[in-house]
């Protein structure tokens, strides 16, 4: 039997680490504008990764990739004084996640299992279906982000980023529960 050396992080702490940088971004934008908010977001995401490392003794893949893009696109936003870069970041990150999952399916590997497989065990067909659903969702978020930032003000885009994407993701995730239950493998079956 394989032992699990990963420390378990309290769900409230995990939520604070995951959502904290977005809250900082939202508040900083409301108080001082998009450029200040971008800098604050960059600092907050580095702090969140450091806390995740401290608590979990590992860096979760998706937040790490997101942090790299926040730092690169946030840096470009600040250096070039052009908010377009930070607005493009969600489009690029969501598209990248979708493409990575799609490449995995083409190679008959379900990378989603690598990310969340510690939390649940599914039959291969379940992983395949769940992966395709996430591919579609990531592309949907990319397209939606493009629509919002190109058609609305920066403040509306920030509100959408904080209060739109997160609830949409939570609803989408909840809608996957029937699929997960259908293909779930309990410990006795495994």
* DSSP 8-state secondary structure symbol assigned to residue 9: P
Strand partners, 184: 122
Q: For residues 10 and 174, give the distance between their C-alpha atoms in angstroms, rounded to a whole number.
A: 20
Residue 2, Cβ density class (10 Å: 0-12 exposed, 13-18 middle, ≥19 buried)? exposed
Q: Give the model's pLDDT for residue 188.
A: 63
Strand partners, 122: 184
Mean pLDDT by 10 residues, the chain (190 residues): 52 84 95 97 95 86 88 97 96 96 94 84 94 98 98 96 92 96 78
Q: For residues 175 and 168, give the distance between their C-alpha atoms in angstroms, rounded to a whole number.
A: 11
Q: Give the model's pLDDT for residue 117.
A: 74
- Helices 11-32 and 34-56 pack at an angle, to 10 degrees, of 170
């Amino acid at each position: 039997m394989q032992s699990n050396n990963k420390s378990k992080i309290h769900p409230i702490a995990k939520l604070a680490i995951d959502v904290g940088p977005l809250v900082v971004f939202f508040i900083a934008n409301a108080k001082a504008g998009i450029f200040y908010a971008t800098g604050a977001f960059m600092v907050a995401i580095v702090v969140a990764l450091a806390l995740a490392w401290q608590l979990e003794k590992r860096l979760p893949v998706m937040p790490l990739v997101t942090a790299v893009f926040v730092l690169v696109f946030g840096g470009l936003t600040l250096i070039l004084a052009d908010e377009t870069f930070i607005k493009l970041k969600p489009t690029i990150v969501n598209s990248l996640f979708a493409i990575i999952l799609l490449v995995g399916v083409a190679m008959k590997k379900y990378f989603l299992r690598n990310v969340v497989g510690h939390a649940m065990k599914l039959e291969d067909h379940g992983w395949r279906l769940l992966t395709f659903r996430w591919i579609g969702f990531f592309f949907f978020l990319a397209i939606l982000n493009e629509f919002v930032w190109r058609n609305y003000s920066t403040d509306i885009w920030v509100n959408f980023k904080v209060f739109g994407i997160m609830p949409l993701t939570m609803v989408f995730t909840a809608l996957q529960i029937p699929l997960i239950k259908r293909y779930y493998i309990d410990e006795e079956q495994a």
